[in-house]
């Protein structure tokens, strides 16, 4: 699998993401600076990592969404390429119109830096096939603007078409208000594009990929991509 991580000024989670991808695939991903106008040939996966691109000016992800490389990422996705956006990367995908909805300020107004649990809503996509059906896994969230919002019609469509990827749940797998720390609509932590090849999520699965550093809860997501895209 050939993966590239897009690096914007203010991106700060690209090294953790690179470690996770390396661990799952055995290959180091490329790092691409935002001013590049094209993605490398033969790319399987483009990743938008976490951070505070452009200092969160205007709105989180708004400036990055209009940077030169995002045109190439949009074209890559339109050709059926796989794209993963984590945290600020999810915000960028929404601002770029590649995923529906928007990430509002956390309902509590507080920056949340803590672990959460997420339920895998379907385990038949390129991002989740290594998870058992209904799996619950732990990840770290670290965001001020992770409160997923979309209008009712869009939320109904996401649910109806199986495009909700992950929900905030209790460790036992229940989607309660208490488990939904940022106030996201319908406990939504992550969503897919219509073709299931673009995924955005707020928490950081790349934090948990090493048994000696906080466990490997997040590793199946990257292994899923490695399995799915190895032959692609």
Residue numbers annotated as active site:
87, 204, 206
- Closest CB 151 distance from other proteins, rounded Å: 8
- Given a contact cutoff of 8 angstroms between Cβ atoms, the answer to whether 20 and 205 are in contact is yes
* Angle, vertex CA 152, rays to CA 140 and CA 99, nearest 5: 50
Query: What are the residues whose beta carbons fall under 8 Å from the beta carbon of 6, sequence distance 6 or more?
Result: 32, 34, 46, 47, 48, 49, 69, 70, 73
Contact footprint for other proteins (CB under 8 A): 58-59, 62, 66, 94-95, 100-102, 104-109, 147, 149-151, 183
Task: Pick the closer one to other proteins by CB: 47 or 96.
Answer: 96
- Closest CB 188 distance from other proteins, rounded Å: 14
* Max CA pair span of the chain: 45
Task: Pick the closer one to other proteins by CB: 34 or 119.
Answer: 34
- Closest CB 66 distance from other proteins, rounded Å: 6
- Closest CB 58 distance from other proteins, rounded Å: 7
Q: How far is CA 86 from the centre of its chain?
A: 3
- Given a contact cutoff of 8 angstroms between Cβ atoms, the answer to whether 90 and 206 are in contact is no
Among the listed residues 130, 97, 93, 98, the one whose alpha carbon sits nearest the alpha carbon of residue 205: 130
Task: Pick the closer one to other proteins by CB: 158 or 225.
Answer: 158
Task: Pick the closer one to other proteins by CB: 99 or 120.
Answer: 99
């Amino acid at each position: 699998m050939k993966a590239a991580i897009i690096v914007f000024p203010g991106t700060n989670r690209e090294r953790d993401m690179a470690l996770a991808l390396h661990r799952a695939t055995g290959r180091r991903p490329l790092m691409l600076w935002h001013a590049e106008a094209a993605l490398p040939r033969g790319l399987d996966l483009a990743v938008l990592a976490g951070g505070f691109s452009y200092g969160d000016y205007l709105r989180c992800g708004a400036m990055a969404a209009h940077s030169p490389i995002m045109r190439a990422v949009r074209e890559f996705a339109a050709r059926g390429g796989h794209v993963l956006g984590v945290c600020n990367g999810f915000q960028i995908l929404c601002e770029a119109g590649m995923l529906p909805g928007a990430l509002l300020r956390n309902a509590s107004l507080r920056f949340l830096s803590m672990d959460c649990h997420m339920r895998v809503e379907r385990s038949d996509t390129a991002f989740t096939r290594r998870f058992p059906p209904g799996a619950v896994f732990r990840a770290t969230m670290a965001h001020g603007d992770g409160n997923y919002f979309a209008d009712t019609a869009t939320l109904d469509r996401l649910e109806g078409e199986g495009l909700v990827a992950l929900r905030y749940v209790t460790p036992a797998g229940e989607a309660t208000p208490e488990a939904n720390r940022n106030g996201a609509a319908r406990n939504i932590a992550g969503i897919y594009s219509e073709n299931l090849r673009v995924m955005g999520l707020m928490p950081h699965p790349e934090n948990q990929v090493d048994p000696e550093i906080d466990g490997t809860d997040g590793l199946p997501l990257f292994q899923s991509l490695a399995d799915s895209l190895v032959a692609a």
